[in-house]
Structure 1
Amino acid sequence: MSRSFVPRRSVLRGALGAGALAAAAGPLAACAPGSSGSEPRKLTGTPSASAKGEITIWNRSGDLFKVFDAAIDAFRKAYPDIKVNHQAVDIDAKLANTLISGTDLPDGSFWDDAKIGGQAEHLYDLTDLIAPYRDKTSAYKLSVNTVGGRIYGVPWDLDPGLLWYREDLLEDAGVDPAGLKTYDDLLAAARSLREKNPKARPLHMEKDPFLGQLWLEMLAGQQGTSLADADGQVRLDSKEYRNVLNWVRDAVDDDLVTHAEYLKQADLAALENGQQALVPWAVWWSFAPQQLLKKGKGKWRAAPLPAWTPGGARSGAMGGSSFIIPAKAKNPELAWLLYEFLCFKEPGYSAVYGPSEVYPGGLTTSVPSYGPARRPDKPLFEPVAALGGQDLWKVAVDAADTIPSAAPIPAWWAKSVDYLGNNLQRLIEGKMSPDDVIDDSTKKIQRNLVDRA
């Protein structure tokens, strides 16, 4: 893995930043496609392999830009008459306003799933083009890209939640990882670890309000729900959220929790000294043992998340990105050819996820949304030495297959962290009850965000 890899935390924070979403929450963004009286623009035809032209494509800077740059080279070989201007852009600061103004637009752009529902009015309807791949694409990724029954983003990555654990510490405490099938089992394992080591507080719970809320959404999404429904209405007051919040309260009451910020100094110290041994988190936590952890290097493993009920889903999504084509793009058909190649075609998705100069072992921080690209028997990235040679690919793709579908992420999601994310912290600190979190957060999100949208 490249030493310059940026933890997914900073990417996600930028992706859901308040400034960008403030633009997304404006009068134009609040409209559903077609609500202004015009029908959404549709792309329905695919150009031939002999297509000619020029496109401008935006991506974020950093290692992922380099990965896509190399993959675009493979596209150029398949379509030699299409010129691709691949540009590193501050998408979070620039794209939403550019879509609204309609000037200096790219032909296509990387974008976070959280943005698509709020800007669908300014994007091409890709439903007909994605139709041939729909049955083999993650239901979750299709759902977060769908507004009013139409698809506005080309699904790219899946970020399945996994249970990360210290294999040696669980073995010493007599805990079999294969037995961690429910969240009650996870609490029992944490108690066993603390009995073995009284200083242990085995379960990580996130101290950063933004990431804490993203984590909460992963656990709720595992049960088939989310903060807002397909119409953007708050649905926090539910059995599913109470399951999560009551579990958090129980873990806190039993003194099983290390409350620390993701991969900051206190978190790393607790991971290295054996205080923390259980981390329910997204696949992109693989960055920690590969780049940051020294004493625990080679001792961490990944497993499916526990289920909330016996036989329930063993994963939920924590983050994710797709590709969009602006409704006023100059060459949208050619942009579609590129994204079709990267997401649904070989050698496109192998060029993205497979070994490269940037990631010699392959890109291990997500898996593809398209089913044929994530075959368990045909890994796109290699076993991870920092995980003791574990086949992370198989664990991640098996988990990805269980993620339930969801609803588009509302444009006000990041601002709701001021209420739900902060209240989750108060619950972990013992200052609020689960019902207090639900009641106070629902009231303030409805009053200050939904009603004002």
Structure 2
Amino acid sequence: MKRSTIRCAGIVGAVALTLTVGGCSDSGSGSGSGSDSASSGGKASITFWGWAPGYEDAVKAFNKSHPDIKVSYQSVQPGAKGGYEKMLNAVKADNAPCLAQVGYETLPSFAAQGALTDVTEHASADKDDYQEAAWKSVTLADRVYAAPVDTGPMALFYNKKVFDSLDLKPPTTWAEYEAAAEKIHKSDPKRYISAPYLDYDYAGLAWQTGASWFGTKGDAWQVTMDSEANKKVAGYWQGLADKGLISDAPMYDQAWYTGLGNGDIATVVGAVWQAGVIKGGAKSGSGQWAVAPLPQWSKGDKRVGNAGGSSTAVLKGCENPEAAWEFAHWLSTDREAFGDLVDKAALYPAAKDLLDLPQLKSADPYFGGQKIYDVFADASGQVNASWTWGPLMTKTAADLNDGLGKAWAGESTIADALRTAQDKTVGEMKKQGLQVAE
């Protein structure tokens, strides 16, 4: 089969920086031995790897309504649990699928390894269908490599029963949040305002305040995890920890779920998908929890961070990028299909026109009958769109988590964790040949 044209020159900004490592990215059709092809009858055949519940049913629905394109779905392990490694190995072996579920934070890493196909010519007309921050997450140097699927706008999950018992209202500022933390802990030494945050949950806290971690300067990456803005966020949470106001129960540990269920952990500062996590793991808290807008650094501000979210990425070697984009865009924008994904996977749409889905308008008994998605609908339009993920996020997150774990345990500080993660990230970037601005 005809090989695709490979472009290695003229790429600027983030793509140029990441491709310093990957060498090239596929510009369109063609793959030597990939499974995706066009049949003799002209019917496009593409393969899609992912893990989200409901994706297989969505593929079936698409195939019924699009007779000229056949999508084959293959379930793989979630990205960090082996899915990403499988995808990258398939790219190297020249037998990757056209499409793969890839988190926003990991997309630049795929670009760094030359594992993506530029689909700008097919995708650019659909830009306005998506929220700005989501579109930016799949765009590198004005080139599009994936369709945004879901987002993770953040809000404050809080135990209304605990707050009401102490005559507390949901805090609108981080200063009010700290005051609530002190009152909650004073009422019972086993009660805490929150548990520690790690990796992408912590990133969302920095994201809100504009404390960026990565950027570009000319032809080089900038790593700014140790900036003054990041020190402000770190100092705030360090202050809560130093006052003994943060639980030592790790997030997603059984101790955390127990604390959420019995009121010993009174809030979760988290993304929309945390609703499903809390409901599933802390069933005894049903009827006690509610959702409020994210506290702000200055009263009256409306700035929100994002935690999580994924895309349908077009991988290197895809022979049918136009058909691949047609399915990827459909998956993200079809009302019936995405409504099912809300029910089955608790995905929150990146597409603007889906924010009024019926599935997002129902009252939730767990949250006292509150229509919690109304809060996230407002938050989605307030997400700071300036955030940029780095090219080696798997390593960056691992190094950060190591430091944060020590900081929350009182063995170091959050500021130290950020500084160390920055130093190790810069070292690894240079080792891999990426240009880094001093």
Instruction: Give the shorter-chain TM-score range.
Output: 0.7 to 0.9
CA deviation after TM superposition for structure 1 residue 407, in Å:
4.5
Distance 2:50 2:229 in 1: 36
Q: Which secondary structure state, in structure 2, belongs to the residue aligned with residue 258 of structure 1?
A: coil
For residues 96-121 of structure 1, the C-alpha deviation after alignment (integer angstroms, 9 at most, x for no partner) is: 1212332x221212112222212233
CA deviation after TM superposition for structure 1 residue 34, in Å:
8.7
1:450 aligns with 2:437: no
1:273 aligns with 2:265: no
User: What are the equivalent positions in structure 2 for 1:190-229 lying under 5 Å apart?
Assistant: 190-206=181-197, 212-229=198-215
* Counterpart position of 1:335: 324
CA deviation after TM superposition for structure 1 residue 31, in Å:
6.0
Normalising by structure 1, what TM-score? 0.80
Q: Once superposed, what is the RMSD of the aligned Cα atoms?
A: 2.8
* Counterpart position of 1:9: none
CA deviation after TM superposition for structure 1 residue 245, in Å:
0.8
* Counterpart position of 2:383: 403
Matching residue within 55, 65, 68 for 1:78? 65
**Alignment-mate amino acid for residue 369 of structure 1:** A
For residues 277-316 of structure 1, the C-alpha deviation after alignment (integer angstroms, 9 at most, x for no partner) is: 1111222221244222233112111222211233334421
1:241 aligns with 2:230: yes
Matching residue within 116, 124, 129 for 1:123? 116
Q: Which runs of 5+ in 2 are unaligned?
A: 1-14, 30-37, 78-82, 433-438
Question: In 2, are the aligned partners of 1:181 and 1:310 still within 8 Å (CA)?
Answer: yes
CA deviation after TM superposition for structure 1 residue 415, in Å:
1.5
Question: In 1, are the aligned partners of 2:396 and 2:425 still within 8 Å (CA)?
Answer: yes
Matching residue within 123, 137, 141 for 1:144? 137
**Number of aligned residues:** 398
* Counterpart position of 1:41: 27
- Larger displacement relative to structure 2 (32-41 or 118-127): 32-41
**Alignment-mate amino acid for residue 56 of structure 2:** D
Matching residue within 56, 61, 66 for 2:47? 56
Percent of aligned pairs with the same amino acid: 25
**Alignment-mate amino acid for residue 276 of structure 2:** F
Matching residue within 61, 86, 103 for 1:94? 86
* Counterpart position of 1:132: 125
CA deviation after TM superposition for structure 1 residue 165, in Å:
0.6
CA deviation after TM superposition for structure 1 residue 35, in Å:
8.6
Q: Which secondary structure state, in structure 2, belongs to the residue aligned with residue 122 of structure 1?
A: coil
Cα distance, 1:183–1:305 mapped onto 2, change above 3 Å:
same
CA deviation after TM superposition for structure 1 residue 352, in Å:
3.0
User: What are the equivalent positions in structure 2 for 1:236-315 lying under 5 Å apart?
Assistant: 236-315=225-304
**Alignment-mate amino acid for residue 255 of structure 1:** G
Distance 2:16 2:166 in 1: 52
Distance 1:381 1:88 in 2: 30
**Alignment-mate amino acid for residue 221 of structure 1:** W
**Alignment-mate amino acid for residue 190 of structure 1:** A
Question: In 2, are the aligned partners of 1:146 and 1:152 still within 8 Å (CA)?
Answer: yes
Distance 2:138 2:362 in 1: 29
Normalising by structure 2, what TM-score? 0.82
Q: Which runs of 5+ in 1 are unaligned?
A: 1-28, 207-211
